[in-house]
Structure 1
Amino acid sequence: MTHPWFAGAERPRVLAHRGLVTADGARHGVVENSFAAVAAAHAAGADYVESDCHLTRDGVVVLFHDPDLARVTGDPRRVDEVTARDLEFIMAGRGGLITLEQALDSFPAVRFNLDVKAEGAAEKVGRIVAPHAHRVLVTSFSDDRRRAALAAAATTGDGIPPATSGGTTVVTRLLGAVSVRSGRLARRALAGVDALQVPERRGRLRIVTPRLIDYAHAAGVEVHVWTINDPGDMTRLVAMGVDGIVTDRADVALGVLR
């Protein structure tokens, strides 16, 4: 049975990576994972927004990628060292802070792909997304963290669970299955996940190959590749058979792929 996160959306899927920061937005100080960036992705026509979840000192789940504020805001503190009010002030001139609850409430038509970055955020992410599970996919590099969020969603919600994408352990097991050409081991590695979200390569290791795509599809799992910003690479990967493109340039991808 196909999870509603996948149903009724155009393909190939375009996932707006941390929202969308256009050239004009950047000139006005907008940064990734801000309220303005999510709004821009929605306005551009993206069905999906990929984002990241961290927990502030006072226990608020916010959309933020890095464990600290340095790269995005110039503030050296960690996200878990500041309150949501502190972060709201810091982000005021950068497109505005957006919490997970605000994202789900303010953009009811958007489907969210949420990477749980902080271990302490997992349970709270699960509880928050439970009422919106039909339009949320939960992932994490840590499969334990991903499962913790899914478990919290199951405990809180009374409907379907969120969709989910495998973490590092799942990907490693799948690559092992691909290397020995075992569809059986591939199906075992992918059990319980709906999508595989991976880079095309990691250093010298090519991850996305026709065989990997075939094994994933045979297991009923979609393949989404990150982070692809070149139009030629987008069309090449889609021609190879990938189901979704995670991109900083959702506006470009929508134009190229639709």
Structure 2
Amino acid sequence: MYPYLVHDGPIAMAHRGGALHPDNLGYENSMHAFAHAVKLGYHYLETDLHATSDGVVVAFHDHRLDRVTDSTGVIADLPWSEVSKARINGHEPIPLLAEVLDAFPEVKLNLDIKADNGVLPAAEVIRAAGALDRVCVSSFSQARVRQIRRELGPRLATGLGQQEIARLRFTPFPVNSAGACLQIPEVYGRLRVLTPGLLKRAHALGKQVHVWTVDDPADMHRLLDQGVDGLITDRTDLLRQVLQARNQWT
């Protein structure tokens, strides 16, 4: 098993640091949110990655700064000297991936690469930090998933790409994939992604299944009862309560 996936009990993952926890509102993907989740006892953080025009990798979801910061512009079009001036919710600087890795050395990170120009710079940061065994890299883009696997090799845990997930979901006898886990929504639009058959096939191939983004306690209990291996949540307070009630909080 990949070192990233070694954990006692279901994996509880703080989505963007726990973006909808009452103490984190407006501070998604900030050091404030990440530190808050770690203080709650989370061992896994989820964050998104973009690269600036000069190749600096930041933990940020949107391709533009506008929604959550006091600045504007497309990150990929701006140098770090400009992006570094932006403040999340008017207060928090945008963190570098290298900063997050350094600040929380005992924590594992799930990294979602949001744009093509971020793949090679992210690989270099992960390599330089010696963080290969404590990150899992995912992307909506199958091409990005394949590229990061080529760059960092078979030790790297990756989520399955969209094509691999579709093959596993719809093919009775799917071909095995290099990915370590499926990180999927229960439903995407009108499509039910998570099914008993998909879960069974994934487990038969040794793949874990992590479901995003689950913020309702009833859904958390139901999915855990179905046998999923992890939950990714914005409500870090509620998921902790659910796992504590099940004696599965570690």
- Taking structure 2 as the reference length, the TM-score comes to 0.90
Give the CA deviation at 1:42.
Answer: 1.0
The match for 1:108 among 105, 108, 133 is: 105
Matched letter for residue 144 of structure 2? R
- Matches of 2:111 and 2:23 in 1, distance apart? 26
Equivalent residues in 2 for 1:96-245, closer than 5 Å: 96-130=93-127, 131-154=130-153, 161-177=155-171, 182=172, 184-185=173-174, 188=175, 190-245=176-231
How much does 1:83 deviate? 2.6
What per-residue deviation string (whole Å, max 9, x for no partner) do you get for residues 106-147 of structure 1?
110110000111101101111221321110101111121112
Structure 2 unpaired stretches of 5+: 244-248
Return the offset for 1:74.
5.3
- Percent same amino acid among aligned pairs? 38
Q: What 5-or-longer segments of structure 1 have no aligned partner? A: 155-159
Output the aligned Cα RMSD: 1.6
- Cα distance in 2 for partners of 1:249, 1:243 equals 18
Task: Spell out structure 1 runs of 4+ moving beyond 3 A.
Answer: none
Alpha carbons 2:184, 2:211 under 8 Å: kept = yes
Deviations 1:188-226 (A, max 9, x none): 1x4211100111011221111111111100000001110
Q: Name the residue aligned to 2:61.
A: 65
- Residue equivalent to 2:14: 16
- Which protein has the bigger helix share? 1
Corresponding position of 2:40: 44
Kept in 1, the 8 Å contact 2:70–2:87? The answer is no
Q: Distance in 1 between matches of 2:206 and 2:91?
A: 40
Matched residue type, 1:139: S
| Distance in 2, Cα, partners of 1:231 & 1:149 | 34
CA distance in 1, matches of 2:54, 2:157: 28
How far does the alpha carbon of each residue in 1:221-250 deviate from its partner, in whole angstroms, 9 at most, with x for none?
Answer: 001110000011011001011111010012
CA distance in 1, matches of 2:24, 2:81: 23
Output the amino acid matched with 1:129.
Answer: I
Instruction: Indicate if the aligned counterparts of 2:18 and 2:33 stay in contact, CA closer than 8 A.
Output: yes
The corresponding residue for 1:157 is none
Which residue identity is paired with 1:116?
A: I
SS of the residue 2:228 aligns to: coil
Residue identity matched to 2:156: P
More off after superposition, 239-248 vs 201-210 = 201-210
Normalised TM-score (structure 1): 0.88
Identify the residue that residue 246 of structure 2 maps to in structure 1.
Answer: none
Structure 1 residue 38 displacement after superposition: 1.1
